[in-house]
Amino acid sequence: MALLEVQHLKKYFATQKAVDDISLTIEKGSIFGLLGPNGAGKTTLIRMITGIFYPDEGTIRLDGKPFDPVNDVRDIGYMPEERGLYKKMKIGEQTLYLAQLKGLSKSEATRKIKEWFIKFEMESWWNKKVEDLSKGMQQKLQFVTTVLHEPKLIILDEPFSGLDPVNSNLIKDEIFNLSQKGATIIFSTHRMEQVEEICDHIVLVNKGKKILDGTVKAVKQDHKENLYSVGIDPMISLPEQQRPFDVVHSEAHRMIVRIHEGNKPNDVLQYLLQNGAAVNAFNEILPSLNDIFIKLVEGTPVTRQFQNINA
């Protein structure tokens, strides 16, 4: 069942169509990757889903009901890319304040904060101020404030920026953990290796439009270029005649081939064996999401902005 259904969402600003007719569905309990270059409209889309902006057109349904920005904030946890905390405020107090703003009672919020602080080994932070924390520690605290009220929908915009590998893994494990407990997670990023690792389903937006939608596996299949890696030892010279592939790249004991349209991997093997090649490895090369991303976005003027610059 879908937790979030977005239909024909539009938001136009004076100078650009920030979100131009985007529809998407996010299954309950899934980890959803929202990808796109800077300025593609991700943040505007998220701001509509979190109730910060009203859409010009289109509908948002949360958990089967029309989205109500005032009351549904309780069910949403949002960590924006541009994030921060009150620097001079004590950490315990601040976390309590943010949780109460989400609608938790004071006692409930206090209990949950203590649980999370113990889990993340942050007990000693209660009376410290945010300005006393390192950037990584602040990110951890920020994550806690986002998920503390146990929202059904968690939206994380670049959650790993500024984190070292140890804390990155800690947050990553927690994302899986929350997903297992039934939370739905929208994960917005430029970092494709993380998307491949974490997400079930992805959507790629560019210039306000959706240009890709599917599971990670399906997307890769759709964009594969019939590339195979073949290991041959010792390498021999192969006749050009009736060769069912082109050689894209070749090394001492390995080459990368692109199979011709209409041929199958078996045809390649047959050809190689007939020509007396000793094949010791044969596997398909699927494109990385990074490659797909670049291929789809390339050529549009915003491509050059495609880099992680928020760190």
Q: Which residues bind other proteins (CB under 8 A)?
A: 14, 47, 50-54, 56, 70, 73, 76, 78-80, 82-89, 97-98, 100-102, 145
For the CA atoms of 295, 81, 146, 181, the dihedral, rounded to the nearest 10 degrees, stands at 0
* 292/297 Cα distance (integer angstroms): 8
Strand order in the sheet with 76-79: 76-79, 153-157, 184-189, 31-35, 201-206, 209-215
Distance (Å, whole) CA 226 – CA 248: 11
Query: How many Cα atoms within 13 Å fall on the side-chain side of residue 240?
Result: 0
CA distance 58 to 66: 11
Where does residue 196 fall: left (phi above 0), alpha (psi -120 to 50 degrees), or beta otherwise? Answer: alpha
Q: Which residue has the tokens 């910060």?
A: 52
Kindly state the helix (H) or strand (E) to which residue 12 belongs, with its residue range: strand 2-12
User: How far is the C-alpha of 176 from the C-alpha of 108, rounded, in Å?
Assistant: 24
Q: Residue 64 corresponds to which tokens in the numbers above?
A: 């089967």
39: left (phi over 0), alpha (psi -120 to 50) or beta: left
